[in-house]
Homo-oligomer: A and B are copies of this chain.
């Protein structure tokens, strides 16, 4: 019995990898507050794997067929031995990450960061409205929600210091993002068109791209962020199928001036009306609106492959920080506290960046059919002291 207002009703059916009672990790689907063991329920060994990769690699037609079977299953009465309470299972990283790319697709975020990192200069760089700017991150440090985040150490140098100093980051931040998981990739020299997005991208997760702003500011010229980001990137355990998000599609807010080059044009936009919520030690500090993103995820994937680069099952590409126009819609503390100059009040105290022991939780939901909502679960992490 699924409560009518559940974010995990029969129109959602996100996939994850769980273990229960010490058994090996395997694929499950979330329904209400339960997890259905798919290998047991469907009698299909592809779901006995410890990652979603084998199922994702089977391709779009299988994704549709399995979703239809699961929909039938959850309408009926499930045998008790294939169902676990979500509180009784442990969730794992849902897929093996092949390559990880992080974009920078929010105009509000890119403008805010430009103002903070390059004061006095034009906040948006000349290429920004012509292509979805992005860079490769470290796939090996993508971790599942709940993993503790040890404060990273590294070099930092303020403009007033003569030389860099080494130590734990003093400007540890978050970035609230959506991540898109490639189910079936493409061989070399076969770019993916934006209109083929749903045939290649299996699902969507929440991403917290933890960022050490002091390390990043010193290292990032000219080759981009590296150590300021590579220590950890957290993702939510539930992969919401792209098939569940038809009702969330919205037009993009811009792109009339300049018009994108033909390889980036979509017949029907993959803008998504997903509303994120950021909580800092349980207190809501922001509601970033994904519908305000400038570039769609279909454009991101088209851009990633237009130079002939192949894509693989398990490739993860993230949107970059989701920030809306309003102050309470910004997806990083760098922006919310304006580089430290305008502290937030959290738990009755003035706060700028993360302290040891702080916990950040990002949740999200989107419109489903018939007035329902589709939930994304959560991505959470607590800051641990540097080692």
Contact = CB atoms under 8 A, between A and B. Distances in A.
B155 A311 contact: no
Interface string A299-314: 0000110111111100
A226 B152 CA distance: 25
Interface string A94-123: 000011110010000000001001000000
Interface in A348-382: none
Q: Copies of this chain, how many? A: 2
Contacts of A232: 188, 308-309
A222 B225 CA distance: 9
B261 A166 contact: yes
A136 B261 contact: no
A243 to B, nearest CB: 25
The contact size tier of chain A is 35 or more
B219 A127 contact: yes
A141 interface: yes
A230 interface: yes
Contacts of A387: 189, 308
Nearest to A134: B226
A163 B130 contact: yes
5 contacts: A136-B138, A164-B261, A166-B263, A223-B225, A227-B303
Contacts of A315: 140
